[in-house]
């Protein structure tokens, strides 16, 4: 079968499955999710065998150690995937919620309710756990899923999807088997072919590096929800509690630097720079953080890291817009709130920003004027996460302004429709 025909068939089957999913009750969906979780645990040895094949592929492709780690499954990671499915089953149903009601003067009653989106394509790299996470969240919201992982994870992804389907069918024989599909080829041309199917595919959500996300966005004919990168900032204002600021910066940079919500740049008010930068640098030096700094910051923090594993160098222009995902931090000294906001708008990615200050008027301006998906007052950027927001599992983070913005959980995987209830009304 030609590639375009193969992708068209995937889309057609997914659209048909989405109609069947829309008829399932929440009890049926939750029963399937719990069976899927049990099925993953039972399939553990087979999953590890499939993953071993993928790890060999990863080695042949020359993947980095970090990428190999993301690719690898273990008994603990399989158990965590299963637990994630159980947690999704425990979440309230996002479909069928009433968002608005109104009654018109002619007696026509209107109701706005949440509905599934339809068919969602997820494109991602390396991590086999995304297969289970994305499929479960889409299934809970009544969406059919087409999954396109990296070629290095094809064996793991296929077996995970097969296990989910078989397990669901064991408790619900009518479960639509094409509700969860894995693109069966590593051919790169499959992506533009799939994303041209506007008659079948309703939404694409890419997860991965900036290059992947830009390539997907540029070729897609269907709507894409995404974030390109996380260039997150912490601004330490002149009225900041410097002890609090030190803790927030340390957490935002060092707790898990590989995440998109970790801080890449710290902006320090000139009024407190001489006091704050040496103590901040000394604290971050315990994690061997590398500093890319402006001239003023270089003078102020160099002494604090002398004799440590940390180094500091002058920042290059591109550094201010780089997502490092590592123990590297940009530092700049700024002249007050306006300069900080200007820097963020010029160099930021619209992801997550924080201000540390005791001045509520400053905080109010920062929260109102900084145009990012998540903005914090006296808290770490690391909180931009569906679990931390009490949303349960998340499928990703969006920096778009139309549709979902910020962490995307079950609610963000829903659309809505209007229902009208009449007694014979006709329009005059």
**How much is the pLDDT for 390?**
84
**How much is the pLDDT for 387?**
83
355 - beta bridge partners?
235, 377
| More confident: 79 or 210 | 79
Residues 349-369: pLDDT tens digits? 999 999 999 999 999 999 999
Average pLDDT over residues 189-204: 97
**How much is the pLDDT for 258?**
86
Structure tokens given for 77: 């990671």
354 - beta bridge partners?
234, 376
CB 381 within 8 A of CB 354: yes
Residue 328, judged by CB atoms within 10 A of its CB (0-12, 13-18, 19+), counts as middle
Pairing of strands 290-293, 312-314: parallel
Distance CA 136, CA 139 (A): 5
Structure tokens given for 79: 């158990």
> Quick one: the chain helix, strand, coil %, rounded to 5?
45, 20, 35
Task: Return the sign of the alpha-carbon dihedral for residues 112, 116, 120, 126.
Answer: positive
- The answer for residues whose C-beta is within 8 angstroms of residue 396's C-beta and 6 or more apart is 205, 207, 225, 226, 227, 408
- In this prediction, residue 111 has a pLDDT band, given cuts at 50, 70 and 90, of very high
Structure tokens given for 163: 């296990």
Task: Give yes or no for residue 27 having a pLDDT over 90.
Answer: yes
144 - beta bridge partners?
119
Output the average pLDDT for the chain: 96
Average pLDDT over residues 31-58: 98
CB 172 within 8 A of CB 139: no
Distance CA 417, CA 404 (A): 17
**Domains, the chain, ordered by start:** 3-226+403-421 (3.40.605.10), 232-388 (3.40.309.10)
- The answer for residues whose C-beta is within 8 angstroms of residue 376's C-beta and 6 or more apart is 352, 353, 354, 355, 383
Residues 247-286: pLDDT tens digits? 999 999 999 998 899 999 999 999 999 999 999 999 999 9
CB 349 within 8 A of CB 399: yes
Task: Give yes or no for residue 89 having a pLDDT over 90.
Answer: yes
Distance CA 301, CA 299 (A): 6
Instruction: For the beta carbon of residue 197, count every other beta carbon within 10 angstroms.
Output: 22
**How much is the pLDDT for 206?**
95
Distance CA 172, CA 159 (A): 20
Q: How far is CA 414 from the centre of its chain?
A: 16
- Is 223 in a helix, a strand, or coil? coil
Task: Give yes or no for residue 93 having a pLDDT over 90.
Answer: yes
- Is 266 in a helix, a strand, or coil? strand
Query: Angle 154-171/129-140 helices, nearest 10 degrees?
Result: 40
Residues 119-148: pLDDT tens digits? 999 999 888 999 999 999 999 999 999 999
Helix H or strand E segment including 356? strand 352-356
Task: Give yes or no for residue 66 having a pLDDT over 80.
Answer: no
Distance CA 112, CA 110 (A): 7
Residues 286-325: pLDDT tens digits? 999 999 999 999 999 999 999 999 999 999 999 999 999 9
**How much is the pLDDT for 69?**
87
**How much is the pLDDT for 329?**
98
Distance CA 265, CA 376 (A): 15
Q: Please identify which residue in the block is written with the tokens 């061997």.
A: 288
**How much is the pLDDT for 279?**
97
Using CA atoms in the order 347, 353, 358, 363, what is the torsion angle rounded to 10 degrees? 80
């Amino acid at each position: 079968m030609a590639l375009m025909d193969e992708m068209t068939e995937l889309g057609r089957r997914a659209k048909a499955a989405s109609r069947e999913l829309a008829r399932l009750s929440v009890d049926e969906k939750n029963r399937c999710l719990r069976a899927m979780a049990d099925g993953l645990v039972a399939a553990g040895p087979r999953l590890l065998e499939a993953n071993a094949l993928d790890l060999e592929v990863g080695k042949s492709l020359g993947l980095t150690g970090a990428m190999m780690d993301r690719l690898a499954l273990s008994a603990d990671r399989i158990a965590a995937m299963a637990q994630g499915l159980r947690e999704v089953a425990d979440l309230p149903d996002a479909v069928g919620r009433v968002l608005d009601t109104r009654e018109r003067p002619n007696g026509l009653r209107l109701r706005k309710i949440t509905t599934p989106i339809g068919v969602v394509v997820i494109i991602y790299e390396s991590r086999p756990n995304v297969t289970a996470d994305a499929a479960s969240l889409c299934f809970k919201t009544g969406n059919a899923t087409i999954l396109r992982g990296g070629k290095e994870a094809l064996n793991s992804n296929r077996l995970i999807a097969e296990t989910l389907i078989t397990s669901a069918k064991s408790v619900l024989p009518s479960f639509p088997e094409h509700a969860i599909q894995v693109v069966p080829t590593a051919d790169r041309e499959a992506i533009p072919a799939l994303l041209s199917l506007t008659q079948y595919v309703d939404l694409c959500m890419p997860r991965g590096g900036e290059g992947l996300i830009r390539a997907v966005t540029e070729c897609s004919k269907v709507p894409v929800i995404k974030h390109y990168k996380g260039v997150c900032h912490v601004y330490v204002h002149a009225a900041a509690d410097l002890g609090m600021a030190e803790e927030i910066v340390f957490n935002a940079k060092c707790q898990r630097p590989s995440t998109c919500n970790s801080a890449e740049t710290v902006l320090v008010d000139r009024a407190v720079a001489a006091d704050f930068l040496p103590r901040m640098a000394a604290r971050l030096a315990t994690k061997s953080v590398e500093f890319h700094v402006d001239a003023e910051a270089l003078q102020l923090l160099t002494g604090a890291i002398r004799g440590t594993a940390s180094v500091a160098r002058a920042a290059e222009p591109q550094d201010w817009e780089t997502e490092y995902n590592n123990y590297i931090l940009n530092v700049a000294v700024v002249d007050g709130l306006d300069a900080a906001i200007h820097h963020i708008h010029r160099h930021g990615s619209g992801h997550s920003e924080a201000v540390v200050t005791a001045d509520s008027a400053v905080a109010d301006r920062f929260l109102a004027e900084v145009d990012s998906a998540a903005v914090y007052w006296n808290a770490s950027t690391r909180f931009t996460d569906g679990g931390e927001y009490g949303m349960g599992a998340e499928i990703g983070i969006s920096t778009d302004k139309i549709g979902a913005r910020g962490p995307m959980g079950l609610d963000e995987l829903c659309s809505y429709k209007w229902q009208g209830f009449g007694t014979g009304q006709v329009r005059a």
